[in-house]
């Protein structure tokens, strides 16, 4: 009896001591963990490493301002190595082992698609900062890059109206983003009265380098006296060979303009751009945007990453997403995913081009559409800038997705059929 | 009506002198400030017309500066200026009308106006009249380029006037050609237009076809009888040349037939006409078949409450009672006939040239594959070593070229240095690989394959760590820029020609080394029978090392060439490894000529499949691999198979 009592007291004492001790230790270094899920090796490292650095810089700045909710932010960086299934594994690791409050990550659509089931199962939070093909809206994802109506469609309008293009060559790399985008664009062009025979489509493998035949095909399109324009969804390294061949063939941007959706400052920095002057890119941000907040951002980025580094559109998307998340957490008073998700919708934050971004109920942003002409120094001259356009998750130009809508506030559904007035499904496993 | 016209003319006359009197550029600019600030291709024409009409001095200069994005606007009052750099980071403003200096300003106080390329094209077209007879040949060429892109009726007379005074023979030829093109589009009398059309017979230029094709634009129309007075391309027989439904739709569109009531509308009409549970006298319960519903609809149509049904007979009759024809938009039959003939002639020529161009492309691709594979032809073909890291030697060569360019800014000199250096670096890497790994795994092909594959991944990662993942530029010297243009159809970039020449040189060099030198003799001896060779006093270890180094070194040079026309990344080599093995296997192992034949076959085959399937290059590569698998079934030893003892097995 006596022995057991002693044991009990000792046990209670030990229990109290450990709790107090762990609590003290916990309070000392309590941080909010932020997961960074970008490939640092493999094919996509070329683009994604920059975004990892951007998140690290933003965290450093936020901590200098005192952190969030009085706690410091702590980055947890993992490397999914451009290996799509590994993205899902690393996301699971971040959520279950590191217990991160939020993740910033993914570049290619296929990597995002592989992460989706994991974060929906574990109720995580992902900010996706790259322009993509749309046709998706997940409760657990905020899409801070452009949807097709914020990049592809306005660029096509620019071709039709400002440049008077009558014949289109849609060149793309063979994977989901270019195929979906081109499908939308083909339908859009047909609706605009462009004949099917005036649309030339070509797909090439990743890293394609033998472009002479394709460039010759594009030139030959001009034989019936119509102005030809190229819409390029060519991704990654293949662009270099394509632009080199274009330059070698002496094709001036005034004769056959090329608008690219995946070529930005970062991609051009590996290229001699003197022969590409005048060709176009459509984004929601260019480094050359004339706004004080942008000048400040560029200065900070160069101080953080190096004098030679450039800024680009997905960096701006990361910047907006990060700051909106910080404000939503402050507003919700917690990092709980459901509370933050609710607080996110309606968040406003100044973007880097002088207007304001707003998070919509479909988890997409309002963004201005900018069209830039390539300059000899690898920067862009902005020749067209719209007012902020609300991002549309489901495109209006394909009959099957025209009836779909996403609204996580009123309808509480990411795939709502407006004809049948039902929620098709809540998860994004499509 | 006449009176209104007169008033208008009077008003115009009254206004015209006022315009001429103003003459001050700034006033015109002020009037159109909004359009100049935010110009669009569709709204800019009135501004340009007003500017040209004002005849103010300096209009041409203004237009040029505007087009060159050298026009600035002051934010405070919206006035336009030219600027030049002044001391202290400030900008000196220049008044547009007077050309006088108008004070200093900060860059932040000004906006640089940047018209887009659509607007620049319209400005360039307006500038033509000022530039076409300019003493500066550069300006005249600019004007011609602008005309080639975008010309209108008024330009024809200006151009004709400018030809006489042209001294430069090259520019004069271009002007004359352009004059003929514009005559086709905008000429007045039939004879000169027909002559202009016929003058382009056999001309493969895209611009000639671009001028002729619009003349032949047709539309399908329906007529009551065989049409007269219109320029008919051909009469269409319904059912054969044109679908009967489409023909009927044409009649409906032209108001010559009643529209077909769609099924959905017919259903709706039945629903709205339900009276006491009956539709058109039939009980609703009976309307379960389409036939019954049709009867009900006909009954409704009979008392006129719904539009009558169009029966199949009626449609047939309507289509049969009309003539359908493709009609040219161009009314003059002589012109369309001439254009048709000329175009047929041109298409014949273009066909021949396109084949030539395809052959050139195929040849160029073959030479690239050959260059990438020739090193492998030695290490794999002659020595029998399966070296999966071969692609990484190509990459090493490309990066060597990049590093050399960092030290030698002159591109010509740097390439000349890079070629031997790439050979040396890749040679050393190859020797190291042979000494450290491959020699220890001799005659164990599976282990060699795995080991070299691992090394290839390691080398790629090392390259990523050193050079980063961003693609690095390997810039060709300026004399390799551009393309050898025969005409608008046949052209090939100089860089590809250079690669072709390089491939030829290495073919010759390798043949020389293998067949004419002592090293070559020893290599052949060692590969055929190493023990016999060593008993003849040849050191097989040394020969194997040198041979492997030679193969790797050539891969390094291939790397410089490939980097020049594509990109330098750590994955550069892995993209060529499959093609290289394919080339060697298809061509025939152990033979340089075989590699040449293999590269030629794969290159031209790839282009041929791309020609038949232009929309998917990836599919073209897949078809090619299928073809090669089948080919290997029939000729397992490749195109050129070694015979007798040289075959080795």
What is the pLDDT averaged over residues B465-476?
Answer: 80
Interface A-B, measured as beta-carbon pairs within 8 A, has a size of: 151
Q: What is the DSSP secondary structure assignment for residue B32, as one 8-state letter?
A: T
3-state secondary structure of B425: helix
Asked if residue A280 belongs to a domain, the reply is no
The pLDDT value recorded for residue A144 is 95
pLDDT 10s digits, B412-459: 999 999 999 999 999 999 999 999 998 898 788 889 999 999 999 899
Identify whether the C-beta of residue B452 lies closer than 8 Å to the C-beta of residue A219: no
Residues of B in contact with A212 (CB under 8 A): 361, 364, 492-493, 496
- Is the pLDDT at B15 greater than 50? The verdict is no
pLDDT band at residue A9 using 50, 70 and 90 as cut-offs: low
A356 three-state secondary structure: strand
Q: Smallest CA–CA separation between B564 and chain A, in Å? A: 9
Dump the DSSP string for B329-358.
Answer: SS--HHHHHHHHHHHHHHHHHHHHHHHHHH
CB atoms within 10 A of CB A9: 10
**B409: exposed, middle or buried (Cβ count in 10 Å: 0-12, 13-18, 19+):** exposed
**Spacing of C-alpha B320 from chain mean position:** 46
Chain A residues with beta carbon closer than 8 angstroms to that of B471: 46, 237, 240, 270-271
Report the helix count and the strand count for chain A, using DSSP H and E: 13, 19
The residue ranking higher by pLDDT, B165 or A196, is: A196
Q: Do the domain assignments include residue A116? A: no
A320 found inside a domain: no
> Cα(A108)–Cα(A163) distance, rounded to whole angstroms?
30
The pLDDT of residue A7 is above 60: no
Total count of domains within chain A: 1
Is residue A124 in some structural domain?
no
Instruction: Give yes or no for residue A68 having a pLDDT over 90.
Output: yes
Cα radius of gyration (chain A) = 24
Cβ contact B483–A269 (<8 Å): no
Residues shown for chain A = 430
Beta carbons of B210 and A224 less than 8 Å apart:
yes
Residue B632 CB partners (closer than 8 Å, separation 6+) = B585, B586, B638
Residue A174 lies in a domain: yes
- List all residues 6 or more positions away from B225 whose beta carbon is below 8 Å from its beta carbon: B323
Residue-wise pLDDT for B479-488, tens only, equals 888 888 888 8
The angle, 0 to 180 degrees and rounded to 10, between the axes of the packed helices B333-376 and B540-565 is 150
Lowest mean pLDDT among A91-95, B65-69, B527-531: B527-531
The answer, yes or no, to whether residue B97 has pLDDT greater than 80, is yes
For residue B119, list chain A residues with Cβ-Cβ distance below 8 A: 162
Check whether A24 has a pLDDT greater than 50: no
Does residue B282 or residue B399 have the better pLDDT? B399
Judge whether A351 and A320 are in contact, CB under 8 Å: yes
Residue A70 lies in a domain: no
Which residues of chain A are within 8 Å of residue B566 when distances are taken between CB atoms? 209, 240-241, 244
CA of B452, closest CA in chain A: separation in Å?
Answer: 19
Average pLDDT across chain A, whole number? 88
Determine, yes or no, domain membership for A209: yes
Inter-residue contact B126 to B54 (CB < 8 Å): no
Q: How far apart are CA B301 and CA B287, in angstroms?
A: 16
Per-residue pLDDT, averaged over A42-50, amounts to: 79
Which residues constitute the domain of residue A244? 152-260
Q: Residue A102 pLDDT more than 90?
A: yes
Residue B374's closest CA among B239, B530, B553?
B553
pLDDT in tens, B589-647: 777 888 899 999 999 998 888 888 877 777 888 888 899 899 989 988 888 876 655 55
- Contact call for B41 and A222, based on CB within 8 A: no
Its ipTM equals 0.78
Residue A243 lies in a domain: yes
Rounded to whole angstroms, the Cα distance separating A384 from A393 reads 24
Contacts 24+ apart (CB under 8 A), B229-235: B230/B325, B230/B327, B230/B331, B231/B327, B231/B328, B231/B330, B231/B331, B231/B332, B231/B333, B231/B336, B232/B325, B232/B326, B232/B327, B232/B328, B233/B325, B233/B326, B233/B327, B233/B328, B233/B336, B234/B325, B234/B326, B235/B323, B235/B324, B235/B325
Q: Where are the alpha helices (DSSP H) in A223-291?
A: 238-248, 265-268
Nearest by CB: A225 against B69, B211, B491 = B211
The CATH number linked to A204 is 3.40.50.2300
């Amino acid at each position: 009896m006596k022995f057991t009592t002693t044991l009990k007291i000792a046990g209670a004492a030990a229990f109290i001591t450990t709790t107090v001790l762990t609590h003290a230790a916990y309070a000392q270094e309590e941080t909010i963990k932020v997961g960074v899920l970008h490939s640092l090796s493999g094919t996509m490292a070329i683009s994604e490493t920059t975004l990892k650095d951007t998140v690290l810089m933003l965290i450093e700045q936020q901590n200098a301002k005192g952190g969030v909710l009085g706690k410091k932010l702590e980055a947890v960086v993992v490397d999914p190595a451009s290996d799509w299934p590994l993205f899902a594994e690393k996301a699971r690791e971040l959520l279950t082992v590191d217990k991160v409050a939020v993740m910033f990550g993914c570049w290619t659509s296929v990597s995002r698609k592989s992460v989706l089931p994991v974060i929906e199962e574990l109720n995580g939070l992902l900010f996706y900062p790259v322009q993509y093909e749309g046709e998706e809206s997940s409760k657990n994802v905020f899409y801070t890059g452009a949807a097709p109506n914020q990049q592809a469609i306005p660029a096509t309008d620019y071709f039709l109206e400002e440049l008077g293009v009558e014949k289109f060559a849609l060149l793309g790399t063979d994977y989901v983003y270019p195929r979906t985008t081109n499908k939308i664009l083909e339908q859009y062009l047909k609706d605009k009265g462009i004949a099917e025979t005036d649309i030339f489509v070509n797909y090439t493998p990743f890293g394609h380098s033998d472009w002479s035949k394709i460039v010759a095909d594009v030139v030959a399109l001009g034989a019936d006296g119509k102005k030809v324009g190229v819409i390029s969804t060519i991704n990654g390294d293949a662009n270099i060979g394509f632009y080199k061949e274009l330059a070698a063939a002496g094709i001036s941007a005034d004769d056959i303009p090329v608008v690219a959706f995946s070529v930005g400052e970062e991609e051009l920095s590996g290229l001699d751009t003197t022969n590409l002057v005048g060709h176009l890119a459509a984004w929601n941000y260019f480094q050359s945007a004339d706004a004080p907040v942008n000048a400040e951002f560029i200065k900070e980025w160069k101080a953080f990453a190096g004098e030679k580094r450039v800024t680009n559109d997905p960096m701006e998307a990361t910047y907006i997403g990060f700051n909106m998340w910080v404000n939503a957490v402050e507003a919700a008073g917690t990092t709980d995913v459901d509370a933050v998700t609710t607080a996110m919708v309606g968040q406003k934050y100044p973007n880097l081009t002088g207007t304001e971004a707003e998070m919509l109920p479909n988890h997409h942003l309002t963004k201005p559409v900018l069209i830039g002409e390539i300059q000899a120094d690898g920067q862009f001259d902005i020749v067209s800038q719209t007012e902020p356009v609300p991002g549309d998750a489901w495109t209006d130009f394909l009959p099957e997705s025209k009836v779909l809508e996403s609204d996580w506030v009123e309808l509480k559904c990411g795939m709502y059929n407006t004809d049948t007035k039902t929620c098709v499904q809540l998860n994004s496993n499509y | 009506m006449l009176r209104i016209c007169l008033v208008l003319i009077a008003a115009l006359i009254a206004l015209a002198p006022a315009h001429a009197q103003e003459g001050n550029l700034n006033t015109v600019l002020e009037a159109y400030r909004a359009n100049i600030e935010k110009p669009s291709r569709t709204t800019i024409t009135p501004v340009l017309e007003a500017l040209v009409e004002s005849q103010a001095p300096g209009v041409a200069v203004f237009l040029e500066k505007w087009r060159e994005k050298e026009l600035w606007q002051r934010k405070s009052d919206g006035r336009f200026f030219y600027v030049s750099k002044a001391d202290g980071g400030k900008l000196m403003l220049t008044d547009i009308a007077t050309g006088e200096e108008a004070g200093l300003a900060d860059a932040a106080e000004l906006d640089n106006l940047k018209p887009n390329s659509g607007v620049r094209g319209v400005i360039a077209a307006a500038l033509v009249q000022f530039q076409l007879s300019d003493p500066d040949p550069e300006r005249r060429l600019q004007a011609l380029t602008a005309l080639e892109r975008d010309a209108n009726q008024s330009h024809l007379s200006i151009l004709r006037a400018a030809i006489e005074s042209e001294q430069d023979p090259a520019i004069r030829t271009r002007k004359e050609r352009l004059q003929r093109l514009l005559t086709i589009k905008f000429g007045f009398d039939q004879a000169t237009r027909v002559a202009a059309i016929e003058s382009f017979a056999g001309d493969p230029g895209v611009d000639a076809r671009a001028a002729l094709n619009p003349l032949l634009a047709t539309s399908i129309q329906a007529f009551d009888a065989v049409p007269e007075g219109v320029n008919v391309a051909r009469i269409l027989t319904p059912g054969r040349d044109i679908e009967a439904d489409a023909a009927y739709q044409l009649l409906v569109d032209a108001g010559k037939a009643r529209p077909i009531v769609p099924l959905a509308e017919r259903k709706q009409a039945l629903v709205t006409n339900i009276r006491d549970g009956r539709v058109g006298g039939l009980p609703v319960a009976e309307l379960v078949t389409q036939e019954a519903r049709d009867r009900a609809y006909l009954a409704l149509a009979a008392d006129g409450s719904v539009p009558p049904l169009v029966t199949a007979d009626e449609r047939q009759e309507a289509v049969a009672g009309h003539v359908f024809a493709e009609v040219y938009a161009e009314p003059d039959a002589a012109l369309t006939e001439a254009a048709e003939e000329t175009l047929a002639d041109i298409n014949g020529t273009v066909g021949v040239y396109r084949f030539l161009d395809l052959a050139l492309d195929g040849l160029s691709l073959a030479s690239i594959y050959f260059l990438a594979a020739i090193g492998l032809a030695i290490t794999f073909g002659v020595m029998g070593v399966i070296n999966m890291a071969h692609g990484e030697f190509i990459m090493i060569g490309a990066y060597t070229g990049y590093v050399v360019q960092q030290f030698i800014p002159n591109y010509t000199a740097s390439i000349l240095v890079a070629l031997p250096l790439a050979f040396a670096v890749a040679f050393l890497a190859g020797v190291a690989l042979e000494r450290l790994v491959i020699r220890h795994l001799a005659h164990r092909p599976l282990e060699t394959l795995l080991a070299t594959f691992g090394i290839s991944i390691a080398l790629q990662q090392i390259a990523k760590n050193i050079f980063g993942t961003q693609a690095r530029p390997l810039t060709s010297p300026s004399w390799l820029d551009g393309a050898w243009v025969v005409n608008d159809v046949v052209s090939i970039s100089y860089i590809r020609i250079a690669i072709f020449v390089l491939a030829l040189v290495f073919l010759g060099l390798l043949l020389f080394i293998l067949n004419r030198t002592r090293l070559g003799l020893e290599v052949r001896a060692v590969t055929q029978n190493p023990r016999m060779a060593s008993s003849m006093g040849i050191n097989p270890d040394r020969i194997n090392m040198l041979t492997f180094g030679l193969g790797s070194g050539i891969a390094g040079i291939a790397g410089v060439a490939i980097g020049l026309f594509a990109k330098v990344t750590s994955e550069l080599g892995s993209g060529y490894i499959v093609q290289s093995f394919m080339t060697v296997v298809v061509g025939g192992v152990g033979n340089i000529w075989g590699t040449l034949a293999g590269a030629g076959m794969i290159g031209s085959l790839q282009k041929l499949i791309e020609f038949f399937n232009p929309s998917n290059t990836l599919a073209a590569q897949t078809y090619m691999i299928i073809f090669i698998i089948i080919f290997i079934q029939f000729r397992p030893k490749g195109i050129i198979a070694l015979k007798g003892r040289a075959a080795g097995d």
